[in-house]
Structures are given as C-alpha cells and as structure tokens.
Amino acid sequence: MNIDMNLLYKTAFNSANEGLVLVNKTGEIIEVNTKTIKLFGYSKEELLGQKVEILMSSKYHKSHVATRNSYHKKPSAREMSNEKSHLFGMRKDGTEMPINISLNPFEMEGERFVLALISDVTKSRKLLEELKSTKDNLFKLNLELENLVIKRTKQLRKSQKLYQLIAQSFPNGIINVLNSEYEYVFAEGKDLKNRKIVPDSLIGTSFLSQFNESSKANILDKLKLVSTDSIQSLQVEIDECYYELNIIGLANSDNVIDQILIVQFNISQLKKHEKEQERALVKERELGVMKSRFVSMASHEFRTPLSAILSSSSLIEKYEKEEQQGNRLKHTARIKSSVNNLTNILNDFLSFDKLSSGNINVTIERFDLMEAIEAALDEIQVLKKKGQKFIVDKDATHTVESDPKLLKNIIINLISNAIKYSDEGSEVEIRVSEKKESIKIEIKDSGIGIPEEEQKKMFQRFFRAGNVSNIQGTGLGLNIVKKYVELLNGNITFESKLNVGSTFIVTLPKIFSHV
C-alpha cells in the first residue's frame, strides 16, 4: 500500500498540539497550522503575508525586527525563551499570553526559512508560580514541554521534504503511522533518537508490543473509536517515561480509513513536575495541620503560666512590709518560672517552624565543647529546682568543629528536660567522652523515667508520655533535638527506667563534614 505523504504530513502538521508558523527570510508568514489559528484568534487568511510580529506583544515589535535581521546572519536552532526570559504573544482581540518559542532554520532551493513552534504556557506558568509559592521551597521547577520553531516557504508547505523535516525535528515526540493491523508503516521523531531506536527497524512491527497489558487495552479501546473527524487522546507509560498519544484516522481516496496517525508526545517532565507539586502540596497541608495543632496546644499551655504571672503580680503588691520579703521572693520566683515556661514554648514553636520550612543553616566553627556546655549551664541555672545540682566533667578539653548554636540548643533542651522531670535536690550529670573521630555527650537524670511501652514514640512530634500529664511541655522538644543532631551528622539514643531516670546519649563527629 502506498502512503500519500502529502496527506500524511499535512495531517501531522495540523494535528500538532503546538502552533506551527512558517516564515521566510523577510519575516513574512507563509503558512500556519490549525493550532496557531486557535491560539491567536486570527483566520488563516488574516495571517498569511503578514509579518511575524503580528503574533507578538506590541512591546517587542521594534526590537524584534532588528533581532530577526541579526538572527538570519547566523541562524541556528534555539529556544527564544526560558525560565528567566519570558515572551508574550498577542491575540487578535489584543490580549496577551505568555508563550514559549523554538526556532529551526533551513534552506530549500537556495532560499532560507524558519519554522516556529509556539506554545501557550499560561497554565504551566501558573502551575510553576503555585509550586514556587510553597514554603518548603521545594525542588525549582520547569513545567513546560520543549518547543520547536521551524520556518519554510509557502510553496513547499505540502512537499514531502517539508513534513519529513517536521517529523525529524519533532520535540520530544514521535509521529507514527500504522496500518489496519496496527503495524508501523512510518515512524519518525526526536524521541526515537533519544531512545536509540532506528526508525526503519520499526517498520512492519506491532505498535502495541512496546506497552504493558493495561496500556495495550486502553490503546485498543481508543483505536476502535478512531475516525477522521476527531482526535482520540490518552496517556501511557513506556520504560518509566510518560507519553500522550493523539490518534486520528487517515482515509484513502475511497474515503475509507486504512491508516492511523498517532502523534506521540513525551510528557515525562510535566508528569515529574506534577508529582513534585502534589508532594509539595501534601507536605504544605501536613505542615498546616501540625501548626494548627501546635497553636491550639500552645494556647492551652500559655494559660497556666500567664495565670500564675497575673496572680503573683497582684499578690506582690499586697506584701508591702519588710517582714513579708519572703512572700515577695516566692511570687517573684513563680513569675520567673512562668516566664521561662512561656519562653520555652515560644522557642519550641520557632525551632519547629524553621525546621519544617527548611530554614536552618549549619555554620561550622572550631570551639571547645566543654566551654560551650558551661555557657549553656549558666544560661539555664534559673530553671533549677531547689537543691538540684549539675555534675560536669569540668577538667576535660574537647575541641570540635561543629555548629555551636545548634549544639547549645541540643544541650539546653536535654538538660532542661532533666531538670523538669527530676525532683528537688536531685543531680543532673553531664559526661563527655571522646573517640578518634567522634564525641559522645551523655545527660543523665534520676527523674520519673519513661514507660517502656512508650519509649519508641519519644521522638515523634507532639508526643508526651502518659506519666507527664501534670508537667508543662509542648511535645516538640525531643523531635527538635533529634533533627538538630541529624543536621550535625550525629545520632541520639536514650536509656530509661520508670521512676529511676533517663540517660540521653548524643554522638557527633569531631569534625563536621558536608558530605
């Protein structure tokens, strides 16, 4: 069976999902496809013979003429726009739309032409903006299919060579023609080259053989509906790549469909971006739920210290006599303790927010670990209960290269917990030991301990053991500590017995490495 190549390529030309505009050396439009007419709102007759600037935003008109003349001096296949440089086209009604344009120059019988492939990227631009607006600043995205622009002469628009060039230059796709048995009679396109497939090797083979059973069934359903009047579309997967198939029938001289044209687009990048956006939105929703939960919890936790501050402040005013100094000091200490509780809640919230949005930077310095621990202990002396003592390995010197601020937060959080969950008069031990390449910090208390059945949940967000219901806390502290330790390439473990005490062990590299 002979293939009417002119009909084949004309059908492929007008079936393209992007606008195709053929322009000569002087910038005159000599051919457009159906998609171009739909994009810009002109009739074909209104565009033919016009300068290509008619399709561009008026702000480009003057500069584009010079750019076009310069381009023809050294023509090359290239894209005119990217993420940092956007172009805008203008429809017949004067409205603008963001577009991507690709150029592909060629010569035919001594004349130079360019074929432009134009895509309306309004939806993908909007999708990209939505993706970039998420706080986790995920992954920076590129949502647009590749665009190709080729220019040719009006007289050659129906020639086999013109349409052959369109197929060979097809951006990330394949033009397939099948017979009634769904076997290849023609295949061409850049995606074949990318997949290292020789087009001629496909002739006579089954188009369906490359698909799994599920995709094959879906394609067969579409093939049964094929006609010359409408395009059947579906998406399929081949070797972990995603494709959109646009299927239309090709009729012979007797108006009988004896061949099928399948325009195959590689949409893997778009699928990837869609999945990334979906993950980003899921993460954003989870973060929103967690923040709402935290705000609700924090509001509840704020009531107790605020009530204590208010009542103690009112009572202090009543103790005016010198012999009432003890009462004044008691309420002053109560106010200080309540303020510290509020500060801890706010610090947990700020750390939680920064960690959740990825805004924690690791700054490495060389410093003495024991000096850092002593500074942290001085800062939290005010939190100690009556008679509580710190026992520290004071004589040791351990030089490390790490982030002193993160390490300080780790130490303060763990020692604060040891104080909070231990009785008056108890001891909190801080021991540091050193190996060749690592440092181990142990913080031991003799407090209430952690029930064995709940120990596996201790690093989860908002989790608090059942035996601490009467002690204030956000349930975020250990989760924050664990994330800080991981940022420093370390790990944290603990040992605990109910009503005996707990020991938290942090192991960190002596020299932090970004690898």
- HSE (CB half, 13 Å, CA atoms) of 495? 6
Strand, coil or helix: what is 402? strand
**What is 172-266's CATH number, 3.40.50.300, 3.90.550.10, 3.30.450.20, 2.130.10.10?**
3.30.450.20
CATH of domain 360-515: 3.30.565.10
CA angle 41, 271, 9 (to 5 degrees): 50
Whose CA is closest to 102, among 143, 147, 62?
Answer: 147
Residues contacting 299, CB < 8 A, separation 6+: none
pLDDT surpassing 70 at residue 189: yes
Which residue has better confidence, 224 or 282?
Answer: 224
Residue 143 C-alpha from the chain's centroid: 12
pLDDT score for 395: 67
* CATH class of this structure's domain 1-169: alpha beta
Whether 172-266 and 1-169 are alike in CATH topology: the answer is: yes
pLDDT surpassing 60 at residue 480: yes
Question: DSSP for 162-212?
Answer: HHHHHHHT-TTEEEEEEETTSBEEEEE-HHHHHTT--GGGGTTSBGGGGS-
pLDDT surpassing 70 at residue 162: no
pLDDT score for 340: 65
d(CA 146, CA 104) in angstroms, rounded, equals 13
The chain-wide mean pLDDT, for the chain, equals: 79
Q: Over the stretch 326-369, which tens digit does the pLDDT of each residue have? A: 777 776 766 766 666 566 666 666 666 666 666 678 889 999 99
Beta pairing, strands 78-79 & 399-402: unpaired
Strand, coil or helix: what is 16? coil
**What is 273-356's CATH number, 1.10.10.1100, 1.20.950.20, 1.10.287.130, 1.10.3720.10?**
1.10.287.130
CA angle 62, 65, 67 (to 5 degrees): 110
Which residue has better confidence, 478 or 164?
Answer: 478
Q: Measuring CA to CA, how many Å separate 444 from each of 34, 414, 422, 474, 510?
A: 76, 9, 10, 21, 22
d(CA 283, CA 285) in angstroms, rounded, equals 5
The domains of the chain are located at 1-169, 172-266, 273-356, 360-515
Give the pLDDT band (50/70/90) at residue 494.
very high
Find the mean pLDDT for residues 256-281: 83
Among residues of the chain, what percentage have pLDDT more than 90? Answer: 22
Which residue has better confidence, 345 or 90?
Answer: 90
pLDDT score for 384: 86
Which residue has better confidence, 204 or 409?
Answer: 204
